[in-house]
Chains A and B, each alone.
Chain A
Amino acid sequence: MPIKTYREAINEALRQEMEANDRVIIIGEDVAGGAGGSAGGGEAAGGVMGITAGLATKFGRDRVIDTPITESAIIGMAAGAALTGMRPVAELMFADFIGVCLDQIYNQAAKFRYMFGGKARTPLVVRTMIGAGMGAGPQHSQAIYPMLTMIPGLKVIVPSNAYDAKGLLIQAIRDDDPVIFCEHKSLLGDSCEVPDEPYAIPFGQAAITRKGSDLTLVGISRMVKFCNEVADRLQKDGISIEVIDIRTTSPLDAATILESVKKTGRLVVVDEANPMCSVASEISSIVASDAFDYLDAPIKKVTAPHTPVPASPTLEALYLPTPDKIEVVVRDLLEH
């Protein structure tokens, strides 16, 4: 099977869905790039990270629409177009910029169907980059999915690898509800086997990335990679860790987590987001209430601290959960 990067997998999902359905359009800042430029106006970027490269050239600027810097209008226009027959994929470059346009997501798109009495369909996808690890500083590095996960009406997707990124994005585009698709900027260059043909991964189905029996590690987005690394390290010492990639924070596949914890009796949740009111807290609370009798040890979370993301790479490394930090917590809990 061909090996593709996370970036290429996303690009391929967009291209295939645009080929399949001409109502699929892309809207965002510099998603093509080069408009009006002295080089002649041809596509010049394909997004700041090159994820949409080639799509404007292939599908034209009517379907790959460069916008002014105006996130409220971008997301609002995409939501309005979704409500009226299009299937827009809006790009909100860095997830931090959600601060500029939250109303259009939170009060508008997320609530149409419910407050219009079930009459609306809003097949909107917002693609956005999350996460630390690039020294990008406090306003370009946040993992903001918890605040989106708590909003009824939104689906929130957190792919941890290229295979999932393609399948989940295709599902997101075909889905009739508003979807926030969180791409981790530190995963863009990671690669794995990705089929050439289109495929959709259903939402709300976690993946078990390592089978094990001693302890359950639940990871979100980039943290799944770290969890896998810890499981592989500990396996050498005869410790058997089960790793679960939740893949989507809303809907959340609680069943797979509960089933695993009932088997292992121990749970560590690893989340790059800040710890208060987080997805890690939510998972911990579900397990505490629905699998309490099976637990042999307290539930532990490994998360970022309750601070903004510092610019300094030295401090940023301390901020982030790492395989070493996870390993310490896991070994500790196994002693319990």
Chain B
Amino acid sequence: MQLSRDQLLSAYRRMRTIREFEERLHVEFLSGTVPGFLHLYSGQEAIAVGICEQLDDDRDYIGSTHRGHGHCIAKGVDVKAMMKEIYCKKNGVCGGKGGSMHIADLDKGMLGANAIVGGAPPLALGAALSAKLLKTGGVAVPFIGDGAANQGTVAESMNMAAVLKLPMVFMFENNGYAEFTAASYATAGSIEARAKAYNIPAVTVDGADFFAVYEAAREAIERARNGGGPSAIEAKAYRFWGHFAGDPQRYRAAGETKELRENHDCLKIFAEKVTQAALLDQAEMNAIDVEVMQLIEDAVAEAKADPQPDPASLYKDVYVSYP
């Protein structure tokens, strides 16, 4: 499957935007300006972008996780409004009431980051059911960590999706850790094999290789749109930071994250591939980097300057109506 130059540039821009967003947030968090908990997506960009570049805003939905910033950016949520939300400000995507772990934008097909591990897959079933009944041709994609894979909700959702032949792609991101515990300890057997046990077609790909994710996602989305039911993809992923910003990572060998950044950086791998195949020049990507840096710079400045939410908003939107 050959991507056009525009498609390649768009994918690169999104991955770079996620990376810059997260790396900058890490710095800001350590300086104490960001409230709440922060889980960074750096290293996993090719997974979110590899699948979301092929999803539509209006009919396709994703369900996200506590590590959701990358999924949101990949699905087209406004970067500046996201940054304001993470700063819990008035003009954040959720008015400051959700914060980093609850960024949601239903108009962009983004069902929400989620602070409950395993919370999103059943919700994605619902989006897929709506798509099927309303005949939109839409697809629903829950993102699921190696840790989340062990929640009952994930097993229940795979079975239900298979039984009802729902248009879904279960996108597993196996970054080797759930908090401070390794997947090799906590996640028995293989995730791919678990999906196959439900007769769900499943493949394992290298999540640092944008093209591998893209191709697996293309097949799975096509199957879902054509009435072929759910698929699963297990992407091997690389978490460059700790579980949360500020995690001392005592469970990881010294030098592990450095090695990941050297050898499993999806942005480096993407740039090497496209320049070697003479699809893009390094200069074009460098120009994007400059624009992205500026965008993030502006997003942070605007987020810091944005007002606090109105006190009255505390009481608003508990219900649509309540006599």
Contacts and interface: CB of A to CB of B under 8 A. Distances in A.
B264 to A, nearest CB: 14
Contacts of A137: 36-37, 98-102, 115
Nearest to B254: A39
6 contacts: A37-B182, A39-B254, A140-B101, A310-B309, A312-B308, A314-B308
Contacts of A100: 116, 118, 151, 153
A269 B309 CA distance: 29
A306 interface: yes
A33 B242 CA distance: 13
Interface in A30-88: 30, 33-41, 44-45, 48, 66-73
B92 to A, nearest CB: 8
Given A36-B185, A139-B115, 7 more contacts: A39-B252, A44-B180, A100-B151, A137-B99, A310-B96, A312-B35, A319-B314
Contacts of B256: 38
Contact of B179 (A36, A39, A45, A139): A45
B185 A66 contact: yes
Give the 7 A-B CB pairs with smallest separation, nearest first. A311-B99, A36-B182, A36-B185, A37-B251, A33-B180, A312-B88, A68-B150
Contact of B311 (A38, A70, A73, A315): A315
A45 B180 contact: yes
A97 B153 CA distance: 13
Interface in B69-123: 88-89, 96-102, 114-119
A29 B185 CA distance: 12
Contact of A44 (B88, B98, B250, B313): B250
B275 interface: no
Contacts, number: 158
B96 A311 contact: yes
Given A137-B99, A305-B315, A35 B185 contact: yes
Given A137-B98, A315-B313, A30 B181 contact: yes
A305 B311 CA distance: 13
Contacts of A305: 314-315
Interface centre among A37, A41, A48, by most chain B C-beta atoms within 10 angstroms, is A37
Contacts of B290: none
B183 A36 contact: yes
Nearest to B316: A307
A138 B308 contact: no
Given A139-B101, A315-B314, A34 B180 contact: yes
Given A100-B118, A138-B102, A310 B314 contact: yes
Contact of B250 (A45, A72, A139): A45
A308 interface: yes
A36 B181 contact: yes
Interface string B287-321: 00000000000000000000011010111001000
A176 interface: no
Interface residues of A, number: 45
B180 A36 contact: no
B323 interface: no
A180 B207 CA distance: 41
B99 A66 contact: no
B148 interface: yes
A315 B309 contact: yes
B186 A67 contact: yes
A59 to B, nearest CB: 18
A92 B311 CA distance: 32
Contacts of A136: 36-37
Nearest to B152: A72
Interface residues of B, number: 48
A319 B96 CA distance: 14
Nearest to B150: A68
B179 A311 contact: no
A37 B176 CA distance: 9
A99 interface: yes
A124 B98 CA distance: 34
Interface in A293-312: 305-308, 310-312
Nearest to B181: A35
A78 to B, nearest CB: 16
A33 B178 CA distance: 10
A17 interface: no
A97 B311 CA distance: 28
A70 B153 CA distance: 9
A134 interface: yes
A184 B116 CA distance: 19
A16 to B, nearest CB: 25
Interface string A161-186: 00000000000000000000000000
Interface centre among B100, B179, B184 (most CB of A within 10 A): B179
A308 B319 CA distance: 11
User: Which of B99, B100, B182, B315 gathers the greatest number of chain A CB atoms within 10 Å?
Assistant: B99
Contacts of A306: 318
A212 interface: no
Contacts of A307: 314-315, 318
B239 to A, nearest CB: 12
Given A311-B98, A313-B88, A44 B116 contact: no
B147 interface: yes
B241 interface: no
B116 A69 contact: no
Interface string B146-160: 011011110000000
B253 interface: yes
